[in-house]
Structure 1
Amino acid sequence: MRVHDERLRFDVTPKPMGLTGSSLITARSVAVLLFLSLFLLILPPFLPPLPPPPVTLLLLPLLLMVLLVFLAFSPSNEPSLAVDSLDP
């Protein structure tokens, strides 16, 4: 039995790389990152110290990590897609 499904097809043609419009790193993104980095270096000495956050707010990252680990190891509801060999 052969399984033929259009969703299983994918394109492997290489994409052109370089500084074109499809590039992920642009001059604008580099400028924004440099601007934010400078602000992180310059502003802290001039800002007043903040009080520590409440303990419940400090537990939020821990709870998010526990939730993500639980979701990572929980079984999926998607049915398994068994594909027979293509030998005649």
Structure 2
Amino acid sequence: MRVHDQRLRFDVTPKPMGLNGSSLITARSVALLLFLSLLLLILPPFLPPLPPPPATLLLLPLLLMILLIFLAFSPSNEPSLAVEPLDP
């Protein structure tokens, strides 16, 4: 059984963005956003009003924010990565 040396090749040349479907903003995504925007403008007058959410549900975003702030300022258990020169 032979093992072949396979190397990955990466193409790093910049390519122009076109309307061929590979760009981030396509005609389909723009049409979808316009459709959803129109629905948000048209539907509220026809739908019945919703009751207010329970008080505990209103505390959920506050609790999530407190948790995220705590995690942002807590020290990590990973050792710090130091960059060392390659010269011996």
Which range, TM-score by smaller chain? 0.7 to 0.9
Separation (CA, whole Å) in 2 of partners of 1:70 and 1:57 = 21
Instruction: State the partner residue of 1:52.
Output: 52
Equivalent position of 2:40 in the other structure: 40
Q: What's 1:69 paired with?
A: 69
What letter is aligned with 2:29?
S
* Counterpart for residue 8 of structure 1: none
Instruction: Name the CA shift for 1:73/1:14 in 2 (closer, same or farther; >3 Å).
Output: farther
Normalising by structure 2, what TM-score?
0.73
- CA distance in 2: counterparts of 1:14 and 1:78, whole angstroms: 36
**Structure 1 moving runs of 4+ over 6 Å:** none
- Structure 1 unpaired stretches of 5+: 1-10
Q: Larger Rg: 1 or 2?
A: 2
Residue 83 of structure 1 aligns with an amino acid whose one-letter code is V
1:44 Cα offset (Å): 0.2
Quote the sequence identity (%). 81
User: Structure 2 vs 1, CA of residues 17 and 55 (structure 1 numbering), >3 Å: closer, same or farther?
Assistant: farther
For residue 16 of structure 1, what is the aligned residue in structure 2?
15
Q: Secondary structure at the match of 2:32?
A: helix
Answering whether residue 23 of structure 2 is matched by residue 26 of structure 1, we say: no
Q: Once the two structures are superposed, what CA deviation does each residue of 1:17-47 show, in whole Å capped at 9, x if it has no partner?
A: 4134432111111111111100000000000
Cα RMSD for the two superposed structures: 2.0
- Counterpart CA distance in 2 for 1:57 and 1:15 is 48
